[in-house]
Structure 1
Amino acid sequence: MGTRITAWWARRSLRLRLSAAAGVVIAAALAGAAVLLVAWLHASLIHHLDQTALQRAQVVAAALETGGVTSSLPASEEGDTAVQVIDSAGAVRASSTNLEGEPRLFTFSAATSGDPQPRTVHGLPLGENGAWRAVAVPAGTTPDPLTVYVAVPTATVDHNLAQLTTGLAVAVPVVVGLLTGVTWLLTGRALRPVDALRAQAAEITASDLGRRLDVPPANDDLGRLATTLNDLLARLDAATRQQRQFVADAAHELRSPLSSLRTQLEVAARHPGSAQWRTLAPDLAEEAERLSRLVDDLVWLARLDARPRLRRRPVDLDEIVFTEVRHARQQTPLVIDESAVGAARVSGDAEALARTVRNLLDNAARHATGRVEVRLAVHDGVAELVVADDGPGIPEADRQRVFERFTRLDTARARNAGGSGLGLAIVHDIVTGHHGSVHIEDNAPGARLVVRLPAH
């Protein structure tokens, strides 16, 4: 049942929930204040009655000391004060006119030291038998001790408090309702800009991510929310543009080998008698290999864009380097020097790291003149992998741009060089996913690609 109520309440509007919460808080505050007010006023009025009774008792006691009191004592001007003078035997020596002929009505003793302690008594044969506040004061002489009892009714106090309580019981709900209504109006006005932002955001579609929300002039939470949403839209716009560009570049790159394969096969199919399959087969195999590498690169980029969780485990990076160097030697006649490869262990995905080393070796072999050097060492808790070639090198202005997708420098722009412009982009994404860094240095001649990864 509680879960259903919670779920129902969670589906209500924010404006309703805020107004209801404010109403509950206001009601609790006003109710608490009303209770405290009634309690304080009751204590104050009772204290005033106690002081009135005590003063009257002291006056009577002083009169007894001078012998000026007869058996009948006058009541107050309103006639609502009850007075009895009791001797040590418990007999009534004197009483106010409204208690004439009554037996002893007060039985508690007077305090012998300190201030008298007033008490609440009931059952006096006066009025409607309500509650009275009574006080006892010692009087008389030592041979003839007396006790003066004075009582005043609490009916007036009870009546006034009842009227006040009734008034508060009517006024508090009215005030709570008014304040809750004001809260409803103010909350609606405060949430109006939020609704405007929601309406603007609802109008933005995937094809219109260049639009932005109106930022309120005040530098408050709502303004910061609008700024954050605009930043989110900017990132989505950039990601969408990058994705569209990636799709266009990928389609353009795939079109070239596919067109070449299709053209050669169509020519061979139309002229089967003159087709030289032995001459044509190597070209077809080369185009198919190029297409396979391109598709493989695109698959890797798609996996990296999906941000998969890398399988983090201790990996011997030197073993991966040796394995990839052996494979690279089978593909190129270049000299690949691995003598400077030392032991290095990192925490990461072995397959992704192998792909990184393979791409670095492919890039170096594509541009090297006759030699590729590979070095691996650990310095200050960082594994540093260096792949250097003796080719034309990379201009300093282009050393950051080559890590972008489908980027080819002017000296290596021809597709027949074998590159798709994705290898170093994959290296950058994999290294970044392993919390490492990659950059390019001058090898004089050639380029030196440096990868740094946290050592395990």
Structure 2
Amino acid sequence: MRSTIVATSMVAIAMIVGAMIMLFMLYRYQDRQMYESTGTRSYDIAHQINEGGLTNVDPELLSPTTGIDIVQIVNSSGAVVVAAPRGNDVPISDLSPGWYSTQRIDNVEVPGRSGMYCGQVTGARFDGIDYNVITLVSTHAYSSMLLGTAAILAIEFPVVILIAGAAIYFFVGRALVPVTRITKQVSAITSSDLSRRVPVPSTDDDVTTLAITMNNMLDRLEQSRVRQLEFVGDASHELRSPLTTLVGILDLADDTDSPIDVETVRTILLPEALRMNSMVADLLLLARADERGIPLTVDEVDLDDIVGSEVQRLRSLGLAKVNADVIPIRVIGDSDKLLRAIRNLTDNAAHHATSTITMKMKKNTNLSTATIEVIDDGPGVPEAVREKIFDRFYRHDLDRGRHQMGSGLGLPIAMEIARAHGGTITVTDAPGGGARFTMTVRTETTTPGGPDAPTSDHSSTGDPLVARR
């Protein structure tokens, strides 16, 4: 209805403006016609008087015709020497335009005649006598035509506007039918069923674009909900195991009314509680990454110091032989987050290495990036699951490594940290067999939360974002 009112109003305004322009042009055309006919006649009569006097004037020029109603010739004494039609013996105009000069006269009242007249007065001279040639035409016919046209338009316009309004209402309603269908379908979609899609019309217009955009949004919402449900399910599954252990031991102590010995606390309860605590912290970190990106405290970081400390830690654990190629590289980033990402990669390598872990560093000056490679000589990662291992809680082949106490969140967290530093993590086959994880980060200023995200404070994390060189 609003569209119809606006469109009909615009049509009405356009028609009124068009009618006014048309009436103005008609008025100008009639005005030009009146003065052209009277001016031409008065000039012709004056020309013939100049050539040979009154006797030289063609009688037909002195007769009223279409466009000429009254002709008068007045001499310099003010006497009417020629009048057509007869009876107009009083000078209609006292203008004296001069020899061969022409002047308009408007709204002239002629004695014995009704209505207004307009015309021309042209000066002539013969044998020392000045004459004024007056030609007039009645404005009644022209005014009647103009008023009649205006009356017709005034009658037709309301009818035309009503018809246009009805047509606009009909066609706008038809054009909005797909929008109504989309609205009903979207209203029927609930959070429990995101599989439905809105109908896409075949009109190839903005409504089609709207429907396609809505379906794309529903696709993303459905995928997000599926990932959310999977995430919640996996988190519940992972937390159930340590909780079952803790609750079981506590129930046993309660049933037997016996205290829990220190050894049980150290070997079972405390490790399971720490495992749960670490898992919850990881989940919170990933939740923040999903919402606004991982919060970073940005500063200059010596990447070689972080890699060197990890090499020393791995060697102290004695799980495998550690070879390292460490070179000085300085980056702009969060040292704690970078340490965590590299530690997750080295812990993964330690879990799956057979005997040797190799760490390499490289600086790509042309790309303004630094690369850290963590290589193990374990069974490697099949190509089919190389993307999946960065999914949360995904763990491939339980017999791949010696330790299966991880939550499946280490590699996803490392990937999110790399992305927050403008890089990524890829996995390929190591040259001698095994897996090679390659982490790339930018060496220049990185924007917290991702390479394209705006710099902002993440006050909800409790760690203010400090961006400085």
Aligned counterparts of 1:29 and 1:274: Cα–Cα separation in 2: 94
Partner of 1:453: 441
Residue 166 (str. 1) matches residue 154 (str. 2): no
Find the partner of 2:180 among 195, 198, 210: 195
Q: Which moved more, 1:409-418 or 1:446-455?
A: 409-418
Aligned counterparts of 1:375 and 1:416: Cα–Cα separation in 2: 24
Partner of 2:331: 345
Partner of 1:253: 238
Aligned counterparts of 2:303 and 2:325: Cα–Cα separation in 1: 11
Q: Which moved more, 1:141-150 or 1:118-127?
A: 118-127
TM-score by length of 2: 0.81
**Unpaired segments of 5 or more residues in structure 1?**
1-15
Q: Which moved more, 1:412-421 or 1:236-245?
A: 412-421
Structure 2 vs 1, CA of residues 384 and 330 (structure 1 numbering), >3 Å: closer, same or farther?
Answer: closer
Letter in 1 for 2:381: I
SS of the aligned residue for 2:106 comes to: strand
Q: Map of 1:230-269 to 2, 5 A cutoff?
A: 230-269=215-254
- 1:342–1:375 contact (8 Å) kept in structure 2: no
Find the partner of 1:418 among 365, 383, 405: 405
Partner of 2:196: 211
Partner of 2:384: 397
Structure 2 vs 1, CA of residues 315 and 171 (structure 1 numbering), >3 Å: closer, same or farther?
Answer: farther
Aligned-pair distance for 1:34? 0.9
1:357-406 deviation digits (Å, cap 9, x = unpaired): 23222222222345433333320212212222333322233222211111
SS of the aligned residue for 1:137 comes to: strand
- 1:83–1:151 contact (8 Å) kept in structure 2: yes
Letter in 2 for 1:391: G
Aligned counterparts of 1:352 and 1:453: Cα–Cα separation in 2: 12
- 1:366–1:418 contact (8 Å) kept in structure 2: no
Structure 2 vs 1, CA of residues 285 and 275 (structure 1 numbering), >3 Å: closer, same or farther?
Answer: closer
Find the partner of 1:301 among 286, 289, 292: 286
- 1:320–1:354 contact (8 Å) kept in structure 2: no
Partner of 2:458: none
Partner of 1:25: 10
SS of the aligned residue for 1:253 comes to: helix
Aligned counterparts of 2:297 and 2:75: Cα–Cα separation in 1: 100
Q: Which moved more, 1:23-32 or 1:384-393?
A: 384-393
Residue 49 (str. 1) matches residue 37 (str. 2): no
CA RMSD of aligned residues (A): 3.3
Residue 441 (str. 1) matches residue 431 (str. 2): no
Find the partner of 2:275 among 287, 290, 295: 290
1:135-164 deviation digits (Å, cap 9, x = unpaired): 133434252332312121212211221121
Aligned-pair distance for 1:283? 2.3
Letter in 2 for 1:398: V
SS of the aligned residue for 1:417 comes to: coil
Aligned counterparts of 2:143 and 2:213: Cα–Cα separation in 1: 61
1:14-34 deviation digits (Å, cap 9, x = unpaired): xx3321221122122211221
SS of the aligned residue for 2:72 comes to: strand
Aligned counterparts of 1:111 and 1:360: Cα–Cα separation in 2: 112
Aligned counterparts of 1:207 and 1:373: Cα–Cα separation in 2: 48
Letter in 1 for 2:83: S
- 2:121–2:135 contact (8 Å) kept in structure 1: yes
SS of the aligned residue for 2:292 comes to: coil
SS of the aligned residue for 1:112 comes to: coil
SS of the aligned residue for 1:321 comes to: helix
Partner of 2:22: 37
Letter in 1 for 2:139: T
Q: Which moved more, 1:202-211 or 1:390-399?
A: 390-399
Partner of 1:277: 262
**Unpaired segments of 5 or more residues in structure 2?**
445-469
Aligned counterparts of 1:86 and 1:440: Cα–Cα separation in 2: 114
- 2:372–2:440 contact (8 Å) kept in structure 1: yes
Aligned counterparts of 2:341 and 2:420: Cα–Cα separation in 1: 12
- 2:45–2:133 contact (8 Å) kept in structure 1: yes
Q: Which moved more, 1:333-342 or 1:260-269?
A: 333-342
Identity of aligned residues (%): 30
Structure 2 vs 1, CA of residues 313 and 283 (structure 1 numbering), >3 Å: closer, same or farther?
Answer: closer
Partner of 1:85: 73
Q: Which moved more, 1:310-319 or 1:33-42?
A: 310-319
- 2:370–2:440 contact (8 Å) kept in structure 1: yes
Structure 2 vs 1, CA of residues 393 and 80 (structure 1 numbering), >3 Å: closer, same or farther?
Answer: closer
